[in-house]
Chains A and B, each alone.
Chain A
Amino acid sequence: MGLENELEGMPVLATRLDEVINWGRKYALWPMPYGTACCAIEFMGVVSSRFDVSRFGAELVRFSPRQADLLLVMGTITQKMAPVLKQIYDQMPDPKWVVSMGACASSGGFYDNYSVVQGIDELVPVDVYVAGCPPRPENVIGAIVKIQEKISNESIRNWR
């Protein structure tokens, strides 16, 4: 890396534990795409050729919540689906972050009716909300960058 030359034979670097662990965490997010509706199709655009989310270190999409640390909720969550989402969130190991993608997940969107949960924050804690119906892929990448910023300001003491 060239760093060893700078350090002149003493390959030791003093830093805060928070810094180095957060640095590792933020560039290796493993998202669990919980796609229910239209936004999931747009997320496919995020991972595929043009937008290529692997540039931000979040391309290792895991479909098992037990292997993921970033829950991307994409699409409408209905009352019938709500317990499932809760269960999936509970299955994820700490540390974990949640992105609510799109109007439906964030607020119910324009579905103000008997079957739609009015925002997933009724069920799980959300770190970043992404506006749009559906959001553009750039917005989703923006949300991942926001999560990375958030991670770099966290302390490992917060997660046990």
Chain B
Amino acid sequence: MTERAIMEKVQARFGATLLASYEFRGQCAVTIRPAQLRPMLEWLRDDPEIHADWLMDVGGVDYLGFSPADGSGDDDREWRYEVVYQVYSMKHNHRFRVKVAVAEPDLVVPSVWDLWGIANWMEREVWDLYGIRFEGHPNLRRILCHDEFVGHALRKDYPINKRQKLTSPSENILCEKVEWA
């Protein structure tokens, strides 16, 4: 299937709840609200024609001061962040992209770590760099920046060369309660 065909299928299934859908250079994406994330990813995975069973990537984007003309129509979007999920179907060899609009003040997205193990670390990274919380995540700690870091480095309003010193390294990283997915 081409990505456009997948998008049409997604539009037919989730039509009313899509915030935007988008095509550029043959690659397609849809923007949804956090509540639709889990149903949509599960549907993409289970639909026999799409069968996107691989979650390849999870990343955040901060759109502070820039709103792309991606079909959402207005320049002044209500959400500032997006969490981007790249899915891939090995069986049918096609990719698709799902973007979750995350609006301030409560930056919360449901976690998918129980569906894909990779989401565990990737969501921790999005939390670390953007400050978006993942509801249901078992171990939402910083992963790339150190423990004493204040703020979220990849936000557009974080100055690039604002350095924060680490005074003492973390002693214990073992958490007994963590179930590794």
**A interface residues with partner B (beta carbon < 8 Å):** 79-80, 82-84, 112-115, 117-118
Residues of A within 8 A of B166 (CB): 79-80, 82-83
Closest to B154 in A: A114
* A99 shortest CB reach to chain B, Å: 24
- Of B158, B160, B168, which contacts A83 at CB under 8 A? B168
State which size class the interface on B falls in.
10 to 19
Bound CA span A113–B149, Å:
14
Say what secondary structure dominates the interface of chain B: loop
Inter-subunit contact B169/A83 (CB<8 Å): yes
* A122 shortest CB reach to chain B, Å: 9
Inter-subunit contact B167/A79 (CB<8 Å): no
- Of A83, A84, A114, which contacts B161 at CB under 8 A? A114
Residues of A within 8 A of B160 (CB): 112-114
Given contacts A82-B166, A83-B166, contact A115 B161 (CB under 8 A): no
Residues of B within 8 A of A79 (CB): 145-146, 149, 163-166
**7 closest A-B pairs by CB:** A80-B146, A83-B169, A113-B160, A79-B166, A114-B153, A114-B162, A114-B163
Residues of A within 8 A of B161 (CB): 112-114
